[in-house]
Each structure stands twice: as C-alpha cells, then as structure tokens.
Structure 1
Amino acid sequence: MKLSEVNPELRRAYWFMRTTPASSPALLRLLQRLPLQIPDGRAPAGMTLEKVRFGNAGGVRVYTPAGGGSGAALLWIHGGGFVMGSAAQDDRACFATAQELGVVVVSAEYRLAPEHPFPLPLDDCLDAWDWLQENAAAHGIDPERVAVGGQSAGGGLAAALVQRIHDERGTQPVAQWLFCPMLDDRTAANRELDAVRHILWNNRSNRTGWSAYLGTAGASEVPDHAVPSRRPDLTGLPPAWIGTGDIDLFHDENKAYAERLTADGVPTTFDVVPGGPHAFESLGAEAEVSVAYLGRAHRWLRERLG
C-alpha cells in the first residue's frame, strides 16, 4: 500500500510510521522485556486523573471532568494488538473525551499476550467493568449510564466484553463505541492479505497478535467471547458505533460486523473515512478529517449516554 492512498490530510502523520513492532516477532519480544514507562498525561484545568490498583493487571485510570461530570461514564480499553500498550498511552484521548462529553472515563489495564492469552486480558476488562459498577456512586456515576469503548485490539476486547456482560451480568452497557476494532481472527488467517502491506497494522502483525492471544489464528472453533465476529447471534447487544478508514486492514471485518449487528436488530452506525489508515484518529488527531470524525463519534456517544 502506497502513501499516496492515504488521505492527504493524514500523510504527514504516517510518513515515518508505516508499520508496528508486531510485524517483527524478535523486535516485539525485545520491546516486551523492556519496562514500559509512559509519563502520565497532564490533566487539563479542573480535571483529575486517579490511578486505582486492584486485580492482576494493575487496575484502572479514572479521568474526571471539572465539576464531576453528568453522571454518565465510559469504560475505555486501549489498543496494541493484544501484545503491546498500556492504559497510559491513551491519557490524551481519555482526557479529551471526558472533557468534551462531561463524563467520567475509566481506562482499563489488562495483561498482554502471549504471556497472558485469552481469557486473561478479557477477564481483566471484566474486572474493570465490575469495579466501575461497584464504585459508581463514589464517583458520581449512574451505573446504568455506562458505555464500553476501545480502539483496535481494545475495540475488539470492548466488543467481546459487551458480549460477555450480556451473558453473565445484570446491568448492561448503554452503548459500544468501537474505533477500528480488531474483531475477527479469520482475517489474520487469510495469507492473501499479506501482500497488501496495510499501513501501520498489516496482516503479518495481525497474525502475530491473534496467534499470541488465541494460540493460532483461524481455527475451526474458538471459545465463547474470544472472537467477537464469531458469535452467531448478536441479538440484544447495545447500540453500536463502529468507525474505521477504508484502507484499514480491519475495514471489511468491521463492515461485516456492523451489517450483522443491524440484521440482528442492534441500532448501529458505521462511519468510514476515505483514505484513513489504521488508528488515524490518534496519529493524525490534529487533521481536519480526524477532528470531524471524532466530532461525529462524540455526538453519537453523547446521545447514547443522555
């Protein structure tokens, strides 16, 4: 895939960032051994960041807007292909969402594969959901006004978490907010996609991530809640917003999931940005096309949260 295929407003953001360390298993293993040190993002005036430790993964980061918020909340899950990242990497985005919508954002830490394969990362996300529900009153949150969202692998975990909450819990999320979500391991098993060389997250990286999480990609059967797109019946899940770029590796699986949600009666918005590579709203956050895209996403979530 050539840089000329990228939206002109986003090309500068991807000039030097064409792929991720996950495309090289040796480099990925090296990076995973290094201590991850991401400085805390600076809180805008009047906002607070609280780090709460519990469970096996490190707990959550809580971003509270000035005045405490409207009583609604978002449980956010970071990306990284199941093998990289931490909640701190999304400080800027979480502060922005909390400030823009006037809601508390709770960002979950989760253990990474392959040392911690499925279901452990999803267990950690469920622990974060349970913590939020149990501590809602202390943070001025109505437990029935909580959405679940995430980006990339975090978007896939968010979709899986929504399914698991549907099956195992009482109070349900009011919405699922999914940015370029990693939903289907069968994409990684399609070797024909290796030749496309998608920008930032290509299919070789995708296979590394899914194989680390599941043990293999594209197996004939997978456990319940492991792969969101493999769930046969999506009836009863909360309204969904799914956003992606049309040159993202995940575009086709995101579109297919949006169509299945709609067919099963779930109100779904599918927002596609022409020339948008993977995670463009993060790497090219200042571009007009990203600002407009995030504006649409925020308006949708604001309506769902009330």
Structure 2
Amino acid sequence: MTKDHPSPTFTLISPEAEAFAAQAPNRDLSQPLDDLRAMLRKESEQGCMSVVEKTGITLSEQTIAGVPCMVITPPEPRMGRKLVYLFGGGFTLGSPFEDLPISASLAAKTGAVVIAPHYPLAPEHPHPAALDACTAVISSVLAETPGACLCGESAGGNLALAALHQLRETHGPQPKALALLSPFVDVINPGDSGRADRDPFLNQSEIEFFRSCYMPQNADPTHPDISPIYGSFDADFPPVFLTSGTRDHLLSGCVRLDHLLREAGADCTLRIWEGMWHVFEFYPEIPEADASLTEIAGFLNRHFAGA
C-alpha cells in the first residue's frame, strides 16, 4: 500500500484495485457454455494452484448426501469446525475449484474443513436441482457437525439463503452463522445498483442471461426458493455477515437484505467496501480481498468458538 492509502483503514480504493478494475475482461455469453466454462477454468488454474500452495490446504473429493463435494482441509484443522461453502457463477458457471481464492483462504484463516458441493449447473439442470443438492449437503453436514457454519458468494449466496429457508421451514438443523459475499438474493434485481450498472465485473445483461438459464418457464421469480430475499426472517435467524462494495451490481439487494434482517430482530452485519465490485474477494491481486476475507474469518471464528 502507498502512503496515500494506508492499509488499516481502506478509506479509499487502493491503487492496486483501481488498476485491476480498469483491466476487467469481458465475458462472451454468446459462445457455447461448455467452451466458456472450459476457458474460465483454464484461466483460473494458475491462480488457484498458487492459493493452494500459499495457504497449505489439501484437496480431496467426497460424496455427501449423494452429491460430489470438494473437501478443503487446512494445514492445522480445528476440531469440530466445518464450513459449507457454495460457489458462485450465476448458477451456470464455476466450480469449487475456481472459488479456491475465497474458500481456501477461509479454511486457512478459520481452521475449518470446508465442504464445497459440485452442485449441478443450469441450463442443463435448472432450478431446483442446485438448491436440492446444496440443501441435502448442508443438512447432512449439520447433522454430523451441529456447530458448522455456512458461506456462499453471488449465486452461492442465493443457494445458501434459500437452503436455510427450507431447513427452517422443516425444523431442520441450522448453521451457527451465515457469511454471504455479494449474494444474488433477488433474481429480478430491481434496485438502484442494478440500474446504475457500473460494476466492472458484472452487468445487467449477464444477470438476465443467468436468470433465463436458471428459472424454469413460468416460475415465480419472487418465490423464496428462487429469490430468498422474499423468505421469512425473524429474531431466531442465524447471525449473518454480508459483504458488498459501492460498485457491486448487487449492492441494492445486500442493503435490502440487511434491512429486512435488522427489522426482524436478527443479528446482521453489512460491510460495504469503497470502490469495490461484485465479489471482489475473489481477486487476491488486490489488498482489499484479503482484508475482507480476514473480517469474514473473524466473524466465523467468533461463532465457531461458541459452537
């Protein structure tokens, strides 16, 4: 960090982040999805393997509740700590591997074994396939480890919140805490941040594409299984930590969710980072990413300690 932008406060966007945002690539969603997925995977490989080496985590695969999952084990795992992590990508892109910059860092910072489901992607597997898979994994992990926590980014944040609604409705086990990074809580995305459309890494046309892939024809976009912001919240809702940025395309949804949780008497913390974009924590090249992940890990650590 430079003298103009001291690292402890981040009162302004760091020069590293400003330069990184200026070089944001454009995604061509008109190409075949298999080609796009393969390209994104290839582009992420070097960075993800660097994160594995840096954090010292080990990777393995395990089937949980019939769903294949990546298991991310930190070098010094803490007994009884598990974190279910749901990757993002608009329900159509991504995998647990490509989200290692976030999940591996959280594993190392918390000592938790991270369970990341390979949930099925749309449009080959539209709603509710991904939600059913994630809910099954979360329920299984919580049954085995009642003190487990839950985390999701973007579409993974949608699935985490929707799954929690389902568990609460059926009086199933609930996580000790929930961390959501730029969650896609409303597939309609009606807020000001979507209209402003100033996020260098996510735009409204992509939102519309992801929604069309994920939602079955004639589905209700306001159903809590699809847009979990329309679910029920009360004072018994698990503690929530939300992160977003002033340029995040989904910032408005995060603000609305924070308001609903607080109004219901739930424990919610919303952290909005100056100048940051959609799931900026995904980019270890910028100092804000590690700073935010450290805050998220601190939140999770406090709730793991009370398990």
Query: Normalized against structure 2, the TM-score is what?
Result: 0.82
Which residue, out of 8, 22, 26, partners 1:15?
A: 22
Partner residue in 1 for 2:273: 273
**Residue 188 (structure 2) pairs with residue 186 (structure 1):** yes
User: How many residues align structurally?
Assistant: 289
In the TM superposition, 1:45-194 aligns within 5 A as: 47-53=57-63, 59-133=68-142, 136=144, 143-187=145-189, 193=194
1:13 Cα deviation from its structure 2 partner:
2.4
Aligned counterparts of 2:84 and 2:103: Cα–Cα separation in 1: 10
Partner deviation per Cα, 1:47-69 (whole Å, 9 max, x = no partner): 4322013566x511112223432
Partner residue in 2 for 1:208: 209
Cα pair distance change 1:53/1:194, threshold 3 Å: same
SS at match of 1:68: coil
SS at match of 2:90: coil
1:221 Cα deviation from its structure 2 partner:
5.7
Cα pair distance change 1:213/1:43, threshold 3 Å: same
Aligned counterparts of 1:179 and 1:192: Cα–Cα separation in 2: 16
1:12 Cα deviation from its structure 2 partner:
2.8
Contact 1:64 1:105 in 2 (8 A): yes
Q: Which residue identity does 1:183 align to in structure 2? A: V
Q: Which residue identity does 1:161 align to in structure 2? A: A
In the TM superposition, 1:250-289 aligns within 5 A as: 250-283=250-283, 285-289=284-288
1:198 Cα deviation from its structure 2 partner:
2.6
**Residue 235 (structure 2) pairs with residue 225 (structure 1):** no
1:197 Cα deviation from its structure 2 partner:
4.7
Unpaired segments ≥5 residues, structure 2: 1-11
Aligned counterparts of 1:192 and 1:50: Cα–Cα separation in 2: 38
Partner deviation per Cα, 1:62-81 (whole Å, 9 max, x = no partner): 12223432312110000101
1:35 Cα deviation from its structure 2 partner:
11
C-alpha root-mean-square deviation of aligned residues, in Å?
3.0
Cα pair distance change 1:224/1:25, threshold 3 Å: same
SS at match of 1:66: coil
Q: Which residue identity does 2:58 align to in structure 1? A: T
Cα pair distance change 1:180/1:300, threshold 3 Å: same
Aligned counterparts of 1:35 and 1:101: Cα–Cα separation in 2: 28
1:30 Cα deviation from its structure 2 partner:
4.3
Cα pair distance change 1:120/1:192, threshold 3 Å: same
Q: Which residue identity does 2:36 align to in structure 1? A: L
Contact 2:55 2:108 in 1 (8 A): no
Aligned counterparts of 1:302 and 1:267: Cα–Cα separation in 2: 16
Unpaired segments ≥5 residues, structure 1: 137-142
Query: Normalized against structure 1, the TM-score is what?
Result: 0.83
Q: Which residue identity does 2:63 align to in structure 1? A: R
Aligned counterparts of 2:277 and 2:117: Cα–Cα separation in 1: 25
Partner residue in 1 for 2:36: 31
Cα pair distance change 1:301/1:190, threshold 3 Å: closer
Aligned counterparts of 2:196 and 2:262: Cα–Cα separation in 1: 32
1:46 Cα deviation from its structure 2 partner:
6.4
